[in-house]
Amino acid sequence: MKYDVIVLGTGPGGYVTAIRASQLGLKVAVVEKESLGGVCLNWGCIPTKALLKSANVFDYINHAADYGIEVKEAKHDFGAVVKRRRGVAEGMS
């Protein structure tokens, strides 16, 4: 097969490049070592942001009184936090 563009990696730059080249009518091939979305989407940026969001929510709950809201007791379930993180990444992938 012949391609006009071969994109190596499907991180934030790769998949955008592949989509745009295809929109321009070029024949595109994409090569990815592991999961579509690359490191950023599957293990780096996006999962990290999901973890930080959970930490931010927990912090808000622990300081709810500063906002005039009473919360009796906040507990964290790290397993559920990690499951959410993975779900966010999978949903975007």
- Span 30-70, pLDDT tens digits: 999 888 888 888 889 999 999 999 999 999 999 999 999 99
Q: Residue 39: its pLDDT value, please?
A: 87
The per-residue pLDDT for range 4-23, each reduced to its tens digit, is 999 999 888 998 999 999 99
Helix axes 45-62 and 78-92, enclosed angle (nearest 10): 140
Q: Residue 9: its pLDDT value, please?
A: 93
Measured distance CA(46)–CA(84) in Å, rounded: 12
Per-domain residue ranges for the chain?
1-38, 44-93
Nearest 5°: CA angle at 51, between 45 and 57? 130
pTM: 0.71
**Residue at token pair 């989407």:** 41
